[in-house]
Chains A and B, each alone.
Chain A
């Protein structure tokens, strides 16, 4: 059984080969929509979306955080507010005088969902669970939860943060693991 991304690719490939045949036959990439029969122009242009996103100001999050096995947040030295996702500016104090702090690893599951119908760029993964976790210091973090059986998940269950390598891409990120309960 192919994954959702391969199925989506296959769907477009079939339309493309159909359009190519139509180009040979009538000189036009016009194909009938399978259900309605309406005539569709098969786009002859294509782009790849790939963004270059600046992490310059939050580079510590990656190099001193994830790479060292830690999840970091920022704290405003003036008002003490903790920011996760980290912000390098406190909009309330209008200051950039912030410090980096490590977040606690223990927390409890606030809510969760198991994603079965996936976006194109996640179509190569098996089903995954996304949850929001409240850490011991009250900061909430969104991440994958390493359990996809709804019977083994519940609101309020204890979970622990782990820094992990996301495969097959092979990059560092963070996720939560259910903690065995007594």
Chain B
């Protein structure tokens, strides 16, 4: 027996350089908001999955430090790690606790305080998020470097250009500029992006997501509990998960992320959807655009575009609001910011608010079918989560 699970409360901190708060204070901004939206007290929360990658920040057990600060000590607690997809993993864990009847109210909390370390140290830690001994030790790959391997091959194979990559950055910076929670508040142009310096050729500064501090939280509830708590639940319709090899040399090609493709297919199958016409069944999507190339790969892995045609979607502005499938109306990782542990939960928060029609007017998608999609990748296709959120209660 599995039970339906709904999001009944959301919380989101301001993303950016948050030197004004420590990690627990930052997390509390999101936790407080989520508890208040849900109308529940800490004692009602039976289960917490906590998403924090860490390494660059001082608290080794940010989970217990945060729960103590937030008055949640005593809840059943797990810290989950799926690199940049840790937040989605936390949602999956909390979802499963409720779906299986082990809890009626659970929270997924994600926080990252990346600016506690100098930038070269942060680059080092993320660079090690692949295969340390065979990729990093001798060859010093960086996170932009891993995705640049995909970008080089993609551009060479399909004739997409560096300008196409910059077009993704331009879109996401625009939406960030109308999202007060986003790290970057200024729109950019293709020219500005093209003139920025190379970080890992062919990726430039404006192709890359920034180093970000931020927190996000959701309160999840069983169907019975959700009915008591809210008139406007957002249901977790399905979650598809997969994984990829640590060594990129063991990937078949550098044109798609297999884990992302499999995760999408699994999520669609559970929801009874087909990837062939998925864009007709989704109003708005948040996809994992840690780098501009990653958003284009996501279009194809999710079935928004055919293989080799993803760049045409952005070239034709079909992923803007009002287009074929609006993507990253929050500003995405690229411009809203990418505090690793918080990112997947931030996607859930923003899509919940999108479905409920309560984000800023300039970035509010038209909600017609009442379904949103989150695509969250850990590392370079090492972990992949695709989650469908819906205004309609799933049939079990």
> Are A118's CB and B140's CB within 8 A?
yes
Q: Contacts of B203 on A, CB cut-off 8 Å?
A: 113
Task: Evaluate contact between A85 and B19: CB separation under 8 angstroms.
Answer: no
Give A98-146 interface residues, CB cut-off 8 Å to B: 110-123, 125, 128, 130-132, 140-144
In the complex, B142 has a CB within 8 A of chain A? yes
Question: CB-nearest residue of chain B relative to A34?
Answer: B19
Interface: A173 (CB within 8 A):
yes
State in angstroms the CA–CA spacing of A40 and B213 once bound together.
Answer: 15
Q: Which of A36, A40, A84, A132 contacts B254 (CB 8 A)?
A: A132
**Which residues of chain A come closer than 8 Å to B138, judged between CB atoms?**
143-144, 166, 173
- Interface locus among B1-9, B150-158, B324-332: B150-158
Chain A residues within an 8 Å CB radius of B119: 8
A38 nearest CB neighbor, chain B only: B19
Cβ of A118 and Cβ of B149 under 8 Å apart? no
- Chain B neighbourhood of A118, CB < 8 A: 120, 123, 140, 142
Binding site secondary structure of chain B: helix
Chain B residues near A166 (CB-CB < 8 A): 138
Question: CB-CB < 8 A to A33: which residues of B?
Answer: 19
The 5 closest A-B pairs by CB, nearest first: A113-B148, A122-B140, A119-B124, A38-B19, A120-B120
A33, B157: Cα distance in complex, Å = 46
| Residues of chain B with a CB closer than 8 A to A143's CB | 138-139
Residues of chain A having any CB pair with chain B under 8 Å: 4-5, 8, 11-12, 33, 35-36, 38, 40, 43, 53, 84-85, 110-123, 125, 128, 130-132, 140-144, 150, 154-155, 166, 173
Does B231 have its Cβ within 8 Å of any Cβ on chain A? no
Contact between A142 and B135 (Cβ–Cβ < 8 Å)? yes
User: Chain B residues near A43 (CB, 8 Å)?
Assistant: 58
- Which residue from B20, B200, B249 sits with its C-beta under 8 Å from A116? B200
A143→B149 CA distance, assembly (Å): 12
Q: Which of B162-201 contact A (CB under 8 A)?
A: 197-201
A11 to B197, CA, bound (A): 21
Whether B248 and A132, one on each chain, are in contact in the complex, defined by CB atoms closer than 8 angstroms, is yes
A72 to B218, CA, bound (A): 50
What is the 8 Å Cβ interface bit string for chain B, positions 253-271, against chain A (1 contact, 0 not)? 0100000000000000000
B152 contacts A112, CB within 8 Å? yes
Task: Beyond the given A36-B17, A113-B149, A125-B140, please list 12 additional residue pairs across the A-B interface where CB-CB is below 8 A.
Answer: A8-B121, A85-B131, A85-B247, A111-B152, A115-B140, A116-B201, A117-B199, A118-B140, A121-B124, A142-B135, A142-B249, A166-B138
A38 partner residues in chain B, CB cutoff 8 A: 19-20
Q: Write out the residue numbers on chain B whose beta carbons fall within 8 Å of the beta carbon of A132.
A: 149, 248-249, 254
Show 7 residue pairs from A and B whose CB-CB distance is below 8 angstroms, ordered by the A residue: A4-B120, A113-B152, A115-B200, A116-B199, A142-B135, A142-B141, A143-B138
| Structural contact, B123 and A117, CB atoms closer than 8 A | yes
Q: Is the beta-carbon distance between A117 and B121 smaller than 8 angstroms?
A: no
Q: Which one, B19, B118, B145, B202, contacts A12 given CB within 8 A?
A: B118
Q: How far is the CA of A85 from the CA of B246 in the complex (A)?
A: 11
Task: Indicate whether A130 sits within 8 Å of B145 (C-beta atoms), given known contacts A116-B200, A142-B248.
Answer: yes
- Please report the C-alpha to C-alpha distance between residue A43 and residue B120 in the assembled complex, in whole angstroms: 17
CB nearest neighbor in A for B127: A119
For B137, the closest partner residue in chain A by CB is: A53
Q: Is the CB of A113 within 8 A of B145?
A: yes
In whole angstroms, how far apart are the Cα atoms of A36 and B247 in the complex? 40
Chain B 71-123 interface residues, beta-carbon cutoff 8 Å to A: 118-121, 123
